[in-house]
Amino acid sequence: MQVPLSILLIPFGIMFFVSFVFFIVNIFHISRYGLQSTKTTAIIGAYLVGFFVTVLISGALLFRYDWSRTIDLGSFEFTGDIHNLKDL
Amino acid sequence: MIHLNKLPNHQRGETAEVFLRRHWIAIVMIGLYFAALMLIPVIILVFLSVADLSIFNTVLIGPLVSVLMACYVMMIMIVTMTQFTDYYLDTWIVTTERIINIEQIGLFTRVVSELNLPEIQDITAETTGVLATLLSYGNVYIQTAATRERFNFKQIDNPEHVKEDILRLTHAAKVRHGELEPFKGGWEGA
């Protein structure tokens, strides 16, 4: 059975969307309800940097693979040896 | 944003005297929690390399584990950010007329309570535990004569000092409102 590898990116896409929404909500809360001071501005900046770094780390984890390829699940036979997983 | 000079229901002549957040130990706990969560994928990676399972070079397992780790990293970021927002938005403001208790519970619940200073009947400062004693943080409980539950200033720095400040401000408010005669000797350190 041929399965596109990019199908694995769907859960990541959902998680990224949810994370982005929560990130926006956090920024909204800090900017609306935080005390007006340089500390609040610095925290908003830290949140932006933190989100950007997280996206970079996630990208570094994912960009090493060619997601356009397909894999043939039908050709794999698990023999019970965990080292057999290298064939997958 | 909150402006200390433009609080809601601002009264003429009212000034903010004390602005409090939780002690910095709360930030340390969030940081430790974050570090512990980040250690889990590191430990898994070390285990995999020790067991000679170079799964990142595989066709399916490698991308699958990478996706799971990417999702995990995003989840940790969101949890840490939310915890910090909860800490940062928990504030207590003591003005010359009232106490404003702002409590952020999670991201979508926010409770704001006000208490006029002349209504205060009892103030208790509490420091419990070795760490709290060494770092001088604790709780301050404020009780009125009414049946409403008391205000709780949680994990604040120098609770004894805060209690004294509130007592001084409460006395001044009661004198202003004609409920008390002023001390003839004045307050020490005022």
pLDDT digits (tens, 9 = 90+) for A21-54: 999 999 999 998 888 889 999 999 999 999 999 9
Residue range B95-107: mean pLDDT, rounded: 90
B57 pLDDT above the threshold of 80? no
Q: Which of B52, B70, B82 sits opposite A62 (nearest CB)?
A: B70
Any CB–CB contact under 8 A between B77 and chain A?
yes
ipTM: 0.82
Model confidence band, residue B6 (pLDDT cutoffs 50, 70, 90): confident
Residue range B131-143: mean pLDDT, rounded: 93
Any CB–CB contact under 8 A between A61 and chain B?
yes
Model confidence band, residue A82 (pLDDT cutoffs 50, 70, 90): very low
Residues 7-66 of B with CB under 8 A from A: 19, 52-64, 66
- Chain B CB contacts of A82 under 8 Å are 53
Tell me what pLDDT residue B8 has: 77
Contact A50, B38 (CB under 8 A): no
The minimum CA-CA distance between A79 and chain B, rounded to whole Å, is 16
Task: State how far the Cα of B23 lies from the Cα of B155, in Å rounded to an integer.
Answer: 6
Annotate B131-169 with three-state secondary structure.
HHHHHCEEEEEEEECCCCCCEEEEEEECHHHHHHHHHHH
Beta-bridge partner residues of B102:
B91, B112
B56 pLDDT above the threshold of 70? no
B184 pLDDT above the threshold of 80? no
Residues with Cβ < 8 Å from B58, sequence gap 6 or more? Answer: A85, A86, A87, A88
* CA count, 13 A, side-chain hemisphere, B129: 8
* Amino acid, single-letter form, for residue B25: I
| Contact between A19 and B55 using a beta-carbon 8 Å cutoff | no
- Closest residue, chain B, to A82 (C-alpha): B53
Tell me what pLDDT residue B55 has: 63
Tell me what pLDDT residue B144 has: 84
Take residue A26 and report the two structure tokens written for it: 């956090």
| Contact between B1 and A64 using a beta-carbon 8 Å cutoff | no
Q: Which of A4-8, A9-13, A74-78, B91-95 has the lowest mean pLDDT?
A: A74-78
Task: State how far the Cα of B66 lies from the Cα of B76, in Å rounded to an integer.
Answer: 15
* More confident: B142 or B144: B142
Tell me what pLDDT residue A79 has: 47
Name the residue range of residue A8's domain.
2-87
Model confidence band, residue B23 (pLDDT cutoffs 50, 70, 90): very high
Residue range B178-190: mean pLDDT, rounded: 63
The minimum CA-CA distance between A28 and chain B, rounded to whole Å, is 10
Contact A47, B8 (CB under 8 A): no
Q: How many domains does chain A have?
A: 1
Contact B99, B121 (CB under 8 A): no
- Chain A CB contacts of B82 under 8 Å are 22, 26
- Class at the top of the CATH hierarchy for domain B16-22+90-176: mainly beta
Residue range A50-73: mean pLDDT, rounded: 86
Contact B64, A5 (CB under 8 A): no
Interface test with A, best of B5, B61, B74, B89 (most A CBs within 10 A): B74
Residue range A57-74: mean pLDDT, rounded: 82
CB atoms within 10 A of CB B102: 17
Q: How many helices and strands, by DSSP H and E, does chain B display?
A: 4, 7
Q: For residue A30, which of B103, B26, B2, B33 has the smallest C-alpha distance?
A: B2
Residue range B53-74: mean pLDDT, rounded: 80
The minimum CA-CA distance between B57 and chain A, rounded to whole Å, is 8
| Contact between B59 and A88 using a beta-carbon 8 Å cutoff | yes
- Chain A CB contacts of B64 under 8 Å are 8
| Contact between B89 and A29 using a beta-carbon 8 Å cutoff | yes
Q: Which residues of A39-74 are buried (b: 16+ CB within 10 A; e: fewer)?
A: ebeebeeebeebbeebbeebeebbeebeeeeebeee
Residue range B63-78: mean pLDDT, rounded: 91
DSSP string, B12-57: TT--EEEEE-B-THHHHHHHHHHHHHHHHHHHHHHHHHHTT--GGG
